[in-house]
Amino acid sequence: MNKADVIIVGGGAAGFFAAINIAEFNPQLKIIILERNKEGLRKVKISGGGRCNVTHAEFIPQDLVLNYPRGQKELLGPFHQFMTGDTIAWFENRGIMLKVECDGRMFPQSNSSQTIVDCFLNEARKLHIEVKYEHTVNSIKKKDSTWCINTNKENFFAKKILIATGSSIKMWKLLERLGHTIVNPVPSLFTFNVQDKRIKNMPGVVANNVEVKILGTNLESKGPLLITHNGLSAPAILKLSAFGALELAKMDYRFQIEINFVGKPFENCLKVLKCAKHDLAKKKIIKLARFDLPKRLWQQLVLASTINEDMIWADINKTQLEHLSTQLTKAVFKVEGKSTFKEEFVTAGGIDLKEINFKTFESRVHKNLYFAGEILNIDAVTGGFNFQNAWTGAYIAAKHITNKDM
Ligand SMILES: Cc1cc2nc3c(=O)[nH]c(=O)nc-3n(C[C@H](O)[C@H](O)[C@H](O)COP(=O)(O)OP(=O)(O)OC[C@H]3O[C@@H](n4cnc5c(N)ncnc54)[C@H](O)[C@@H]3O)c2cc1C
């Protein structure tokens, strides 16, 4: 009979992290991971463009939670138990040094996600964790105090189970049957499709200090903006896609955005342009980009302001100056759809957070049923925060699973 003390459903980031910690807290326990694929940790392998953005160099829980559109309030307590510094130490203790990039993202020094995959696989082997690949969980039932797990191959039985299947619609349906509420899943972390003359044929162009608002909503963000083949990307846009995931889905990803390319109010921008009219009187407007804007973007914004290619600063009139200031500080673009960001996506939605005890990551609906990772209605902006949620939940669940009468 396939009996274990703890069964973990899902051999991904949260599943392996939980299993390893449980085995370390209590080496006597029999732990089985059930994974539907031929190998586990597939997302870890492809994460961060093959480099695995393990976590983020943000060490204040109150600031760290601000990166989670869903889970902000609930993760504050858990981050006081296990957060970024603990993640760094956890990997360091296993010989893996992490490095910080200038934007705070942290990667293995090897620059390869394989280092993280190998670490998990080696630890699991050393700790005698059984990993059953090609075992898809099809149903979960509780009989007396035992969990019965049916897979495509065999049945398994355990006193405690942890579900870490990520964004799996099938598993959410299964959990609904067990009495859990699922918040409808929608995509998060996507780029905006925009077809507009002002940004046509300039993929790769970056404006660094941009403010973006979604008109008709309270959604706004700041940061770098990248022009792509299809439209707009980079942190200023990805943050909006995450914080606006539900609202933008309702709008069917069709809305208008207002971009301030220079990060200054209209009047201040106008003042700078008036100075340019005086100081650069004989120069062609189109030639010299102002506000450190990329030249091609400046040129398109100038042309969109009813200013022709040959006009010099001395000839620009008041209306044209105002048009240019409008293009620079309040340019409106029509968004028509979304695209995937570098194949990286997460899902907003999942198990309703009201049904989880965040001191333990145990279900409030069933005893001895735990969850960690993306299966919960928690997701973050890009930068290593999604993995941090997986590590934190898995660690705390592992601690509680082993603390409680085992
Ligand atoms: C391309 C890409 C790049 C990313 N890069 C980053 C990054 O650099 N940094 C970051 O923080 N986040 C990144 N993310 C997000 C991050 O990968 C996820 O948030 C994280 O993997 C969630 O971990 P998890 O364990 O909850 O789910 P997963 O890692 O998805 O693991 C779930 C596992 O459960 C298995 N499973 C599902 N259903 C069943 C079933 N019925 N029976 C058995 N097994 C099942 C799956 O096969 C899978 O192995 C990236 C995501 C993508 C798609």
pLDDT of residue 405: 61
In sequence order, the 6+-apart residues with CB closer than 8 A to the CB of 384 are 48, 53, 54, 55, 56, 104, 105, 106
| Best residue for ligand 1 mutational test, from 173, 386, 388, 391 (most atoms within 8 Å of Cβ) | 386
pLDDT of residue 404: 63
Q: Report the Cα 252 to chain-centroid distance in Å.
A: 21
pLDDT of residue 406: 60
pLDDT of residue 403: 84
Of all atoms in ligand 1, which is nearest to the CA of residue 375? 26
Residue whose CA lies nearest to ligand 1 atom number 52: 344
pTM, entire model: 0.94
Distance in angstroms (rounded) separating the CA atoms of residues 73 and 111:
32
Residue whose CA lies nearest to ligand 1 atom number 11: 384
pLDDT of residue 342: 75
Give backbone dihedrals phi and psi of 244, rounded to 5 degrees, phi first.
-105, 15
Closest CA to 162 of 356, 323, 336, 354: 356
Distance in angstroms (rounded) separating the CA atoms of residues 67 and 60:
12
- Write out the E strands in 104-181: 105-108, 130-132, 137-143, 146-151, 155-163
Evaluate whether 354 touches 345 at the Cβ level (below 8 Å).
no
Q: Which two tokens stand for residue 155?
A: 């049945």
Low-confidence ranges of the chain (pLDDT < 50): none
In sequence order, the 6+-apart residues with CB closer than 8 A to the CB of 308 are none
Find the 349 Cα to ligand 1 centroid distance in Å: 14
Q: Which two tokens stand for residue 36?
A: 């539907």
Find the 214 Cα to ligand 1 centroid distance in Å: 30
Q: What is the pLDDT of residues 146-190, one digit of tens each?
A: 999 999 999 999 999 999 999 999 999 999 999 999 999 999 999
Q: What is the pLDDT of residues 264-296, one digit of tens each?
A: 999 999 999 999 999 999 999 999 999 999 999
Half-sphere exposure of 62 (CA within 13 A, CB side): 0
